[in-house]
Amino acid sequence: MSDAEFYADPTHSIGYLTRIAFRAFARALEVRTAPHGVSAGQWRFLRVLWQEDGLTQRELSRRVGMREPTTVIALNSLERSNFVVRQKSVEDRRKVHVYLTPEAKALHAVLMPAVAQVNAVALAGLTPDEIAILRKALTQVGRNLAVDADDAPSMDSAA
Amino acid sequence: MSDAEFYADPTHSIGYLTRIAFRAFARALEVRTAPHGVSAGQWRFLRVLWQEDGLTQRELSRRVGMREPTTVIALNSLERSNFVVRQKSVEDRRKVHVYLTPEAKALHAVLMPAVAQVNAVALAGLTPDEIAILRKALTQVGRNLAVDADDAPSMDSAA
DNA sequence: CCTAATTCGTTAGAATACTATCTATTTCGT
DNA sequence: ACGAAATAGATAGTATTCTAACGAATTAGG
């Protein structure tokens, strides 16, 4: 098989493999968090807030890796579920700080083992070296394509 | 930083990195296909059909890596865009075969360079060995978690 | 041959995430 | 101090994907 044929095969492209892996991760996590009333969309935000409570929505968006309207929707949902409260900043009234409720804080100890388990399952059969390279490569890919988004909005500008 | 802290950090988990990379891929491709009237959802199906035209919807779903209702929606959209036609099977009237229109076939030569370009951008700075391991590791992760989905529907059944 | 189970596609309804646009607030240049 | 620009968040509308449930067609068991 030539290089061209290899990359033309949808089931071998890095993009395809990344999509399949992402969806599998999301599903595996959701299966474990849903019984505790935490959806996939809520999970990602809780994880970041467990690390640093009281972030503004802007900061939260950046750390979770979502756009702000997505954060607004997720926070509405988290508020309805009594997992967070919004509190307007006093020194800058545009800002809103997001704080975990005791219920959400209590979920930390319950749900974090799920991540560990999903990671263990996901990485079974890979050596520590391979895992390190996987991590490095995914980081690089994300960075490379983020740059692309900034400076290559059309197909004609490169190639 | 301890192992526990490392894995607790959302921005270092393989799941997070995979999500960021996937979204970046999807966006980079969409930017290049959209000017030709092809959305992200349509793109994945066209790629598979370019390789093997006339598949049934079931087969198509399996190869694209989507559930069947998703395929139905994508095909409705592809049909509206005049990219595919559905044709009922004569020997098994449950089945529907999906065929590319000449318009869609013509897009192959136009859009495939986009994949090559996105892949080149995405993988810049990685060695061939690292890319090979990335590919292998993503495949393994997908397989590991697919198995998990089958036999570990709740968090209590393992751990 | 006929009932039961399986297979294929579809519909309904929900969750997640996006772009584009809006309002409110703050900051900065003159 | 005042108008322009920037920043924070929210809203509207759309796209993608899922699970659950259903209808139609086919296959298999008795």
Contacts of A62 in chain B (CB under 8 A): none
CA proximity to A98, closest of A37, A39, A45, A34: A45
B153·A64 Cβ contact <8 A? no
Contact by Cβ (8 Å): A68, A61:
yes
What is the per-residue pLDDT for A156?
36
pLDDT of residue A100: 97
Q: Report CA(B82)–C1'(C12) in Å, whole number.
A: 26
Position A115 scores a pLDDT of 85
- Tell me what pLDDT residue B50 has: 96
| Distant-in-sequence, close-in-space partners of A63: CB < 8 Å, separation ≥ 6 | A48, A52, A55, B10, B11
Which residues of B are less than 8 Å from A134 in CB distance? 14, 133-134, 137-138, 141
Q: Model confidence at A5, in pLDDT bands (50, 70, 90)? A: low
CB of residue A143 closer than 7 A to nucleic acid strand D?
Answer: no
What distance in Å separates the CA atoms of residue B65 and residue A134, rounded to the nearest whole number? Answer: 22
Q: What angle do CA A26, A27, A28 make, to 5 degrees?
A: 95
Check pLDDT > 50 for residue B159: no
Q: Average per-residue pLDDT in chain B?
A: 89
Closest CA relative to residue A14, chosen from B11, B127, B18: B18
Burial class of residue B111 in the structure, from the number of CB atoms within 10 Å of its CB (0-12 exposed, 13-18 middle, 19+ buried): buried
C15 C1' – A33 CA distance, angstroms? 15
Q: Which fold has domain B3-151?
A: Arc Repressor Mutant, subunit A (1.10.10)
The ipTM assigned to this model is: 0.88
Q: Which of A13, A28, A140 is the closest to B149 by Cβ?
A: A28
Give B78's contacts (C-beta < 8 A, 6+ positions apart).
Answer: B42, B45, B46, B84, B104
Q: Which residues contact A158 (CB under 8 A, 6 or more apart)?
A: A152, B117, B121
Q: Which residue has the higher pLDDT, B9 or B157?
A: B9
Distance CA B96, CA B90 (A): 9
Give bridge partners of residue B86 from the DSSP assignment: B98
pLDDT, tens digit (0-9, with 9 covering 90-100), for A80-106:
999 999 999 998 999 999 999 999 999
- Please report the residues numbered 56 through 95 in chain A whose beta carbons come closer than 8 angstroms to any beta carbon of chain B: 63-65
Tens of pLDDT, residues B110-125: 999 988 999 999 999 9
Residue nearest to nucleotide C7 (CA to C1'): B94
Does strand D come within 7 Å of the CB of A67? no
Measured torsion, CA atoms of residues B158, B21, B50, B84, in degrees rounded to the nearest 10: 90
Token duo for residue B121: 């951008």
**Where does the pLDDT of residue B147 fall: very low under 50, low under 70, confident under 90, or very high at 90 and above?**
confident
Tell me what the mean pLDDT of segment B25-29 comes to: 94
**Range of weakest confidence among A4-13, A117-126, B71-80, B115-124:** A4-13
Whole-number percent of chain B with pLDDT over 90:
81
- Read off the pLDDT of each residue in B51-58 and give the average, rounded to a whole number: 95
Question: Any idea how long chain A is?
Answer: 159
User: Each residue of A22-79: pLDDT tens digit?
Assistant: 999 999 999 999 999 999 999 999 999 999 999 999 999 999 999 999 999 999 999 9
Note whether A132 contacts B: Cβ–Cβ < 8 A: no
Q: What is the pLDDT of residue B8?
A: 66
